[in-house]
Chain A
Amino acid sequence: MSTPATAQNDGAETNVNSIAQSIKETFTSNIRQSGIFIAFIAIIVLFAFLTDGTLLSGQNVTNIVLQYSYILVLAIGMVIVIIGGHIDLSVGSVVAFSGAVSAVVVIKGGQPWWVGVLAAIAVGLLVGAWQGFWVAFVGIPAFITTLAGMLIFRGATYLTLENISLSPFPAEYTRIGIGFQNGLFGGNGYDVFTLVVFAVAVAGYIFTQFRQRAAAVKYNQHVTAMPLFIVKLVAVAAVVMAFSWLLANDRGLPNVLIILAVLVIIYTLVTTRTVFGRHVYAIGGNLTAATLSGVKVKWVNFGIMLNMGFLAGIAGVLFGARSNGAQPAAGNMFELDAIAASFIGGAAVTGGVGRVTGAIVGGLIMATMTNGMQLLGYEQSVQNIVKGLVLLLAVAFDVYNKRRAGGR
């Protein structure tokens, strides 16, 4: 009796409009990804409102970029570690250690700034190789290896610095962390160069998006409806250009932002388009199946840890440049921020799932919240409680969705 009626309804519904359908699909098919962007925007709006717009002032936005860049660099490495099914608890200590060696080389040794940078990166690579050796070839779980590393490299930092802080770095060195590119094309109260760089980047983004969509159509893939696709591009372009306007109105394009952007692009490609990246997902998803498909698991694990060390070395430089020196206690708890960023950004606790861009957005959510709460004058204790709750809720949301995926 009721069957014909429902059948008619179905027919009518599918005919109504495919755009509504498409919007719905875009959100439901990847609820996690859209969820995190919506959450990010909500947090920005909330804090912008609470701080009477201070959050979105040019100066504050620039400060957020300068303050959290090294966490975002670490989050890139950390999400890859987590996708591979591991964890790295040592990155805070490694940041401190590489920064300390760099400071000793430059400040005590009188070497030029770039030698210090290379020294920090070399330390990061060596640490990565050391931990990679234990994880990959001896088979010690990364949790244990890096817990040991956390102690070892913190100790090594104190030894290197002989328990005292070192400062200051020469100006060339600090420029990496707090310098800007501006004034190249002049400006009237705002930096034209910054705007041009961002405009070019946005154009590049739009171009690749169109190319990808065309390829998807060619390969008969399901794509978002054209109007929605355009809306999405316009929205992204508007947000990015607004961001660049804020930067241009302050001090211009921060050097760390350039470094960060380059890393994000490289590592997005590494995770999605290279054999190494694919193998990381494969071993995190099903280790045995990966082994039986010819993945050289040991070398991939080694590569994951080596890469984390490399990025920790870079973060060490950025942190040292920003704090204009090296402190024995530097980088404390950085690992937890990086891990939280990865999980908020959608990485799975069991491995095999995650994205570099997700981790970046996760890191930005943490950064915005911390900054917003600082502006509002909340104490560190309150900030920690809120950050902890957000991490918990983000993962709970994930778990809930996974359970619901069995439903409709």
Chain B
Amino acid sequence: MANNILEMHSITKTFPGVKALEDVELRVAEGEIHAICGENGAGKSTLMKVLSGVYPYGTYDGQIVFKGEEARYHSINESEDAGVVIIHQELALVPHLTVAENIFLGNEVRNALGLIDWNEANHRATDLMHQVGLDENPTTPVGQLGVGKQQLIEIAKALSKKVSLLILDEPTAALNDSDSQHLLDLLKRLRDEQGITSIMISHKLNEIEYVADTTTIIRDGQTIETLDMSLPESTQDRIIRGMVGRELENRYPPKTGRQIGDEAFRVENWTVHHPTQPGRVVIDNAAFDVKAGEVVGIAGLMGAGRTELAMSIFGRTYGRGISGEVYKRGEKINTHTVSECIDNGIAYATEDRKRYGLNLIADIRHNISAAGLKKLTSNGWINTNEELKVAQDYRVAMNIKTPSVLQKAGNLSGGNQQKVVLSKWMYTDADVVILDEPTRGIDVGAKYEIYTIINKLAAEGKAVVIISSELPELLGTCDRIFTIAFGRVTGQMPVDEATPEALMKLMTQERTAKPAAASAGESH
């Protein structure tokens, strides 16, 4: 108790019209891994931004005591000098710069003349990478590494700053299972070997159970409780109860009312080449189909080509040299542009909502109507009253937490942004809905809501395709699951035959292997 490295007392933070935090208390013991849980919009990221000086001293109320002294950070630089380093929800690396350049960005290694000493920098970068378990060339551009490795580089960057309190905001949201595991083990190692204290925000409760020593739960901007994770009663269900304020019986709603009908959508012989590296095949002769009222999953590891498959179909927004056929209810359709796809009743909610899904500086209302504007228009004029009503209806139906639909989308918490993206596509009345990682960075309660929405779509006879790296999610929501590996569809199975092991085997199948018995081609 005595050696708390950090104490935050009655922190209150308001934005115009929103009280994001109210008298929040947080105590973090020296050398522990402290998890912070809470629903979307509960205020987790805001609390960490207050702590790290993103919101400078004076823009919030309350007191922060770090290492026994009151901390008044006016900027990130000040908090970093004190040893508090935050890794934000969105990666903040510069893709064109090398690993070493990124690690020492703003903190360059200089020689006696004040010039950058690249040999020393690269050498130290290699050292730091070893500490986080990476073995990359320090002169590789960061953009060429996978997200998992980029996340580790972020940590290496933090280590270069003599960090004593490391804050990670949803570090594993974009990582696959093995990368996540690696990262969590790294946190444990940093704790045990270097005594580094970590605060980790996560919606993945199994990870919290695995890694955290203590968990603080925040709901609606207030501290609910702090759990000692070594006690047997500190279970995932216990955390959920704290987060949502009630018992959540199941993680997945029952798949009721599904009437699987005729084929709604089918892709054949789909081949896509890399946009900048000619001759490199990204998607190789892929095929899949989905029936009306059916939910089909596409399982694959990060980098297997799931998003590339979806985006190349959706208005050819990814790739070059695309060939293949797309059928809607048995008829061949054109999908060369996004508007053709929308007109054909196809919707695609992207995986990266900030970069591809939303106009963050526009309000929620305009984001919701963006893809279905035609429905609000006559002779080129938008019915703005109707538009407002639509936005408000979705705000209620999707439970988007915001004081007004006139708020900027960029001011919403991650989960609520995702609900805006979903609203946008639901409003197009598409009957083929492709959802790419629909629950990334979303809390358990909201996940349940989104699964319920997916069920509702299926019950209405729509064909739903879910791309996800979380196998339990696919098993809990889908009727049929396709697997994809190295750009090829390696198999499919009905959900009652599917097991995580069987799927994983197909998801890792190398190019040389023979197609699995239940390959996609045979089902037609």
A residues contacting B by CB (< 8 A) are 3, 28-29, 215, 218-222, 272-276, 278, 281-282, 285-286, 288-296, 348, 352-353, 405-408
B348: Cβ under 8 A from any A Cβ: yes
Does B521 count as interface, using CB distance less than 8 angstroms? Answer: no
CB-CB under 8 A for A293 and B338, given A273-B382, A285-B359 = yes
Shortest Cβ gap from A298 to chain B (Å): 10
Q: Which residue of A lies closest to B341 (CB)?
A: A294
B339 within 8 A of A: yes
- CB of B141 within 8 Å of the partner chain: no
Q: Are the C-beta atoms of B361 and A352 separated by less than 8 Å?
A: yes
The 10 sampled A-B contact pairs (Cβ below 8 Å) are A219-B392, A275-B382, A282-B359, A288-B356, A289-B357, A289-B359, A290-B359, A294-B338, A294-B342, A407-B55
Contact A353/B381 with A3-B23, A278-B366, A296-B337 known, Cβ cut-off 8 Å = no
Interchain CB contact under 8 A, A290 and B370? yes
Instruction: Give the docked Cα–Cα distance between A209 and B355 (Å).
Output: 37
Taken together as a complex, chains A and B put the C-alpha atoms of A282 and B358 apart, in Å, by 9
Residues from chain A with a CB closer than 8 A to the CB of B424 are 293
Contact A288 B355, beta carbon cutoff 8 Å: yes
Within 8 A of A (CB), among B322-351: 337-339, 341-342, 348, 350
* CB atoms of B59 and A407 under 8 A apart: yes
Asked if B385 and A219 make an inter-chain contact with CB atoms under 8 angstroms apart, the answer reads yes
B380 adjacent to A293 (CB under 8 Å): no
Question: Which chain B residue has the least Cβ–Cβ distance from A404?
Answer: B59
Contacts of A405 in B (CB 8 A): 16
A292, B350: Cβ atoms closer than 8 Å: yes
* Nearest B residue to A287, CB-CB: B359
- Residues of B contacting A353 in the complex (Cβ-Cβ under 8 angstroms): 361
Contacts of B350 in A (CB 8 A): 292
Q: How far is the CA of A265 from the CA of B358 in the complex (A)?
A: 29
Q: Report whether A273 and B384 are in contact in the complex, using a CB–CB cutoff of 8 Å.
A: yes
Say which residue of A272, A274, A282 sits within 8 Å of B362 (CB atoms).
Answer: A282
CB distance A273 to B381 under 8 Å?
Answer: yes
B14 & A286 in contact (Cβ 8 Å cutoff) = no
Minimum CB–CB distance from B323 to chain A (whole Å) comes to 22
Out of B317, B362, B377, B388, name the residue touching A292 (CB < 8 Å). B317
CB pair B357–A292 under 8 Å, yes or no, is yes
Q: Are A274 and B381 in contact (CB under 8 A)?
A: yes
Q: How far is the CA of A27 from the CA of B259 in the complex (A)?
A: 54
Given A274-B382, A352-B359, A407-B55, output 17 extra A-B contacts at Cβ < 8 Å: A3-B23, A219-B392, A222-B404, A274-B381, A278-B382, A289-B355, A289-B356, A289-B359, A291-B317, A292-B348, A293-B338, A294-B341, A294-B371, A295-B370, A353-B361, A407-B59, A408-B14
B360 at interface (Cβ–Cβ under 8 A)? yes
Contact of A219 among B337, B357, B388 (CB under 8 A): B388
List B residues 14-59 near A (Cβ within 8 Å): 14-16, 23, 54-56, 58-59
Q: Which residues of B contact A290 (CB under 8 A)?
A: 359, 370
A282 to B16, CA, bound (A): 24
Q: Which residues of A contact B173 (CB under 8 A)?
A: none
List of B residues within 8 angstroms of A274 by Cβ: 380-382
CB distance from A397 to the nearest CB of B (A): 18
CB <8 Å contact, A296 and B23:
no
Measured in the bound complex, the distance between the Cα atoms of B315 and A290 in whole Å is 12
B314 touches A292 (CB 8 A): yes
A406:B54 contact, CB within 8 angstroms: yes
Q: With a CB–CB cut-off of 8 A, which chain B residues contact A352?
A: 359, 361-362
B182 at the interface (CB under 8 A from A): no
Contact with A along B56-77 (1 / 0, CB 8 A): 1011000000000000000000
Q: Decide if B511 is an interface residue (CB 8 Å cutoff).
A: no
CA distance A353 to B314 in the complex (A): 28
- Whether A272 touches B384, Cβ cut-off 8 Å, given contacts A219-B389, A289-B357, A291-B338, is yes
9 nearest A-B residue pairs (beta carbon): A285-B359, A407-B59, A294-B339, A293-B371, A293-B370, A294-B338, A286-B359, A294-B342, A219-B388
Q: Please measure, in the bound complex, the distance between the C-alpha atom of A290 and the C-alpha atom of B371, giving whole angstroms.
A: 8
Residues from chain B with Cβ under 8 Å of A286 in the complex? 355, 358-361
CB distance from A77 to the nearest CB of B (A): 19
- Residues of B with C-beta under 8 A to A295: 338, 370
Which of B23, B317, B359 is most buried by chain A, counting CB atoms within 10 A of its CB? B359
Q: Report Cα–Cα, A286/B353, bound state, in Å.
A: 11
A271 to chain B, nearest CB (A): 11
Which residues of B are found within 8 Å of A273, using beta-carbon distances?
381-382, 384
B343 to chain A, nearest CB (A): 8
Q: Which of the residues B348, B361, B389 comes within 8 Å of A285, measured between beta carbons?
A: B361
Instruction: Specify the chain A residue showing the minimal Cβ separation from B362.
Output: A285
**CA gap between A281 and B362 in the complex, in Å:** 8
Residues in chain A near residue B337, CB distance under 8 A? 294, 296
Interfacial chain B residues near A285, Cβ < 8 Å: 359-362
Interface assignment of B373: CB less than 8 Å from any CB of chain A:
yes
Do B356 and A292 touch across chains, with their CB atoms under 8 A apart?
Answer: yes
Question: What's the nearest-Cβ distance from chain B to residue A1, in Å?
Answer: 11
Q: How far is the CB of A139 from chain B (nearest CB, A)?
A: 14
- A29 and B16 form a contact (CB under 8 A): yes
Contact (Cβ within 8 A) A220 B392: yes
Which residue of B has the minimal Cβ distance to A350? B361
B392 touches A292 (CB 8 A): no
Most buried by B among A222, A296, A406: A406
CB distance from A406 to the nearest CB of B (A): 6
Give bound CA distance, A294 to B424, whole Å. 12
CA distance A353 to B366 in the complex (A): 13
A222: chain B residues within 8 A (beta carbon): 404, 406
B348–A275 contact, CB under 8 A? no
Interface string of B154-167 (1 = CB under 8 A from A): 00000000000000
CA–CA, A219 to B382, complex, Å? 16
Of all chain A residues, the one with the shortest Cβ separation from B339 is: A294
Point out the residue from A278, A288, A406 that lies within 8 Å of B55, measured CB to CB.
Answer: A406
Closest to A28 in B: B16
Cα separation A272 to B374 with both chains bound (whole Å):
15
With beta carbons under 8 angstroms apart, the residue of B13, B357, B373 that contacts A275 is B373
Q: Please, how many angstroms separate the alpha-carbon atoms of A352 and B363 in the complex?
A: 11
Q: For residue B339, which residues in chain A have a CB less than 8 angstroms away from its CB?
A: 294, 296
Which positions 401-427 of chain B face chain A at CB distance < 8 Å?
A: 404, 406, 424
Interface contact A289-B358, CB-CB below 8 Å: yes
The residue of chain A having its C-beta at the shortest distance from the C-beta of B377 within the complex is A275
Residue of A nearest to B369 (CB): A278
Closest to B349 in A: A292
Residues of B within 8 A of A218 (CB): 385
Roughly how many angstroms separate A321 CA and B55 CA in the complex, as a whole number? Answer: 55
CA distance A289 to B317 in the complex (A): 11
Nearest CB on B from A167, distance (A): 41
Q: Which residues of A have CB within 8 Å of B348?
A: 292
A353 to B359, CA, bound (A): 11
Which of B362, B385, B389, B404 gathers most chain A CB within 10 Å? B362
Nearest Cβ on chain B to A107's Cβ, whole angstroms: 39
Please provide the chain B residues from 385 to 403 with a CB less than 8 Å away from any CB of chain A in the complex. Answer: 385, 388-389, 392
Known pairs A3-B23, A278-B366, A285-B362; A408 contacts B59 (CB<8 A): yes
Can you name the residue of chain B whose Cβ is closest to the Cβ of A218? Answer: B385
